[in-house]
Amino acid sequence: MKMTNVWNLFIYRLWAPVYDASVGRFFMRGRKKAWQIADLKAGENVLLVGVGTGADLPLLPSGISVTSIDLSSEMLAKARRKLPVSGIEVFLLQGDAQKLLVPENAFDVVVFNLILSVIPDGRTCLRENLRALKSGGRVVVFDKFLPDSAKPSVFRKLLNFFSTLLGTDINRRFGELIRGSSLIVEHDEPALLNGVYRVIRLKIN
């Protein structure tokens, strides 16, 4: 099934009431790793693409400013209930992260937690939001990817049909998302499920 914004709006409306108490708990260890390698410093301006229910917000250090984007108003409503976060300035923005919704060259760090396998066009999402990164800024990704050298089996293709119905694509390759860009991988480590989920830090060459 091809993923679309229309379908994602529908499926994440269903996910919103149960996300934190179900799959949200499973992802917490990976989220923590992502923020550790982001190495945030007081005074930095952070763009969080795909904030969802705001599960990342309690993990952030004080003294930073965070602009958070999500397509789903229902997921954002859940995130809003987690505010305020002590010592952090948080802005929640609804919109399509396949388009740049914030100023260019405005952020020290851009974080993509569990969004590049969910949004219809992960490559466009990555490219557009990197325009918001300051020169010398950092990029962090936490998500699941098919190894670049692997070919999905017939079973995995069938499984992916059902996973896209639930709002996520299990067959995306990270190498394809960054191909042709000036991104360089600085750090790449397994996060969950024996490396199915990875935490990656990048810089722009």
pLDDT digits (tens, 9 = 90+) for 81-135: 999 999 999 999 999 999 999 999 999 999 999 999 999 999 999 999 999 999 9
Average pLDDT, the chain: 96
46-67 pLDDT, tens digit each? 999 999 999 999 999 999 999 9
Range of the domain at 83: 5-204
CATH number at residue 148: 3.40.50.150
Listed in order, strand segments (DSSP E) in the chain are 45-49, 65-70, 89-94, 107-113, 133-144, 183-192, 197-204
Q: How many residues comprise the chain?
A: 205
pTM (2 d.p.):
0.95
SS3 88: coil
Residue 172: the pLDDT is 96
* CA nearest neighbour of 56 among 37, 77, 82, 74: 82
Residue 12 has pLDDT above 90, yes or no: yes
Q: Please give the tally of structural domains in the chain.
A: 1
